[in-house]
Structure 1
Amino acid sequence: MDTKIFKVNTENSTIDWIGRKVTGAHNGTIRIKEGNFIFENQKLQSGKFIIDTRSIKILDIEDNETNRQFANHLASDDFFNVEQFPEASFEITHAEPGDENFYYVQGHLTIKGITQPIDTSLHIVTTDNAAVLKTRLVVDRTKFNIRFRSSNFFTNLGDTLIYNNFDLNIHLIAEAY
C-alpha cells in the first residue's frame, strides 16, 4: 500500500469568506494554522485542517475605524468568540471518489467548540510532491450558536437581518512529506 501524507502550506493556502445580509454582503479572509491529508494508492483517505479564528480579516470595508469595529464584533461572542475559541477545524470522515479529480466528502466542521456534520465536493489535483485542494463550504452559522440578527431567533429585524448561511471558499496547497 502506497501511503502519502501531504502537509498544508499555510503561507500559500487561503480561505475566503462571504457573509450576506439583507442590505448587501461582507467578505474577507481567514488563515489556516495547520493541516494535512492522507492518500493511499493515490486516493484521498482522510484529512484535517485547523483555522486560526483570530486571523479574521475584512476586505470590503476601507475605512480603518469601521473595519476595526466590525473585526472586533466578529471576534466577540456575538459571532466567533475568538478569545475562548481561537481555532475552528474541518476533518474529513469519509471521501468517495467521483468524476475525475473530484471527491464527495463527508466531514465534521467545528466552530466555537460545536461540531456539526457537513458534506461537500472537493476538487483535488495531485502530483508526486504536491496537492491542490479546493472546495466551498456553505455553513449555517446558527448550528454553531452564532445567532446575532438571525431570523431563526429574532423577529422584526427588517433590513438589519443577517442571513444564516455564510460561505468559506477554501484553496489549500499541500506538500508531500
Structure 2
Amino acid sequence: MPATLISPAELDTLRLQQPSAVIMDVRLPDDHERCAIAGSVNNCVLEVAFHDRLAALVPDKKTPVCVYGSAASSHEATMAAEKLLRAGYDPVYRLDGCLAAWCEAGLPTVGSGETPQPAPLPTGRLTVDVEESRMEWLGRNLMNKHWGSIPITSGYLDVKDGQIQGGEFVLSVADITCDDLAGNPYHDVLIAHLRSDDFFDTALYPEARLKLTDATVIPEAPPGSQNLQVEADLTLRGVTAPISFTLSAGMDEKQRCVAQAAFSIDRTRWGVLYGSGRFFARLAGHLVNDLIELQVRIVMEPA
C-alpha cells in the first residue's frame, strides 16, 4: 500500500490536530538547516544511518509520519516513504509538492535562508595531483579480461572564467600494472607482453600524452552526470590521434577540481595490432578485442 499523498493545507491541519505526528525532512542536513517546515525533524534518506535514526526519532510505528523532500521532481520523499512502509510504519504520508509547495502556500518555515552556490572553477593553471589521479584500463579477449592501471605522472588544466581552456597529462605506460593478476606469476609475463613491441613498445615509447583541445559545457546536465564534451589528442606509441569523450567535472569539498571519465579507444588506431581480427587471418586463442576501456580520474591540486 503506497503512502497517502496530502496537500500542504492538509499537512498543516494534521500537525495542528495531531501534535504527536512527525513531519520528517529527508533531505541533506545542511538543506534542512537553510530552510525547513517549522517543527520538522531531519533524517536524510541518502545516509545509511536512516533506519537507525528512524527508530530513535519515531519509536512507535503507529505514530503518523509525513515525509517531504525538496520538490515534486526530486525522489527523496518517495524513497523515504517506501522505506517507512517496509519497516512497518502506518500511517505514512507524503507531502504533495514537498517543501517547494509548502513554501508556495506561505506556510511557516524555519532556517537560515541561505542558498548554496556551486563553487566555480578557479582561473589559472591547475596542477594535477599525481597521488590522487589515475587511469585504469580493461582489455578483453573471447574468454578472459584483464585490468590494471597506468600512472599519471604530470599534467595541468588551464581555466578561464570557469571554463576549461586546455590541458595536458602525461602517463607512464612503462609502469603499467595488471591488478587482477597481482601476486600471480603470470602477472610479470603479461606485463612484459604489454611492454613489448607486441603492444605498447615502452622501450621506445615509455610515455603517453593526453592533450585537451576543446571542452564544451553540456547544457542542463544534472549534477553527477557527464557535463563536459571533450576533444583531445592522444599520443601513444609515437602516434597522435584525436579522441572524443564526455566527462563529469566539478569541485570537491576540499575545493579541488575533480573530473572523471569512462570511454573506449580502438588500439589499432595507434598501431597496436597484436591479436586484432582485422589484421590477422587466423588467431585462434590469440584473438584480442580491439577496444581498450579506460577510466580516468583527474584530481587537481587546490588553486
TM-score for both structures, normalised by structure 2? 0.55
Mark the CA change 1:43 to 1:166 in structure 2 (over 3 Å): closer, same or farther.
same
Letter in 2 for 1:4: G
Of residues 160, 166, 170, the one that matches 2:292 is: 166
Letter in 1 for 2:126: F
Of residues 112, 126, 134, the one that matches 2:260 is: 134
Of residues 237, 247, 251, the one that matches 1:122 is: 247
CA distance in 1, matches of 2:182, 2:128: 31
Secondary structure in 2 aligned to 1:170?
A: strand
Is 1:154 matched up with 2:274? no
Question: How big is the shift at 1:131?
Answer: 0.6
Contact 1:116 1:143 in 2 (8 A): yes
CA distance in 1, matches of 2:162, 2:182: 44
1:139-169: per-residue Cα shift (whole Å, max 9, x none)?
Answer: 1110111110101110222343101000110
Letter in 1 for 2:260: K
- The number of residue pairs the alignment matches comes to 176
Contact 1:49 1:91 in 2 (8 A): yes
- 1:104 corresponds to: 229
Q: Which has the higher helix share?
A: 2
Letter in 1 for 2:209: S
CA distance in 2, matches of 1:3, 1:14: 23
Question: How big is the shift at 1:64?
Answer: 3.5
Question: How big is the shift at 1:95?
Answer: 0.9
TM-score for both structures, normalised by structure 1? 0.93
Contact 1:92 1:105 in 2 (8 A): yes
Question: How big is the shift at 1:63?
Answer: 5.0
The structure with the larger Rg is 2
- 2:193 corresponds to: 73
Backbone CA RMSD of aligned residues: 1.6
Unaligned segments of structure 2, at least 5 residues: 1-121
Mark the CA change 1:176 to 1:24 in structure 2 (over 3 Å): closer, same or farther.
same
1:57-113: per-residue Cα shift (whole Å, max 9, x none)?
Answer: 011124542111110110000001111001101111011111256110111011011
Secondary structure in 1 aligned to 2:244?
A: strand
Secondary structure in 2 aligned to 1:16?
A: strand
- 1:24 corresponds to: 144
Higher RCO, Cα 8 Å, sep 6+: 1
Letter in 1 for 2:292: F
Is 1:54 matched up with 2:174? yes
Unaligned segments of structure 1, at least 5 residues: none
CA distance in 1, matches of 2:182, 2:148: 12
Of residues 123, 133, 143, the one that matches 1:13 is: 133
Letter in 1 for 2:279: F
Letter in 2 for 1:125: G
User: Share of identical aligned residues, percent?
Assistant: 28
CA distance in 2, matches of 1:67, 1:167: 19
Question: How big is the shift at 1:129?
Answer: 4.3
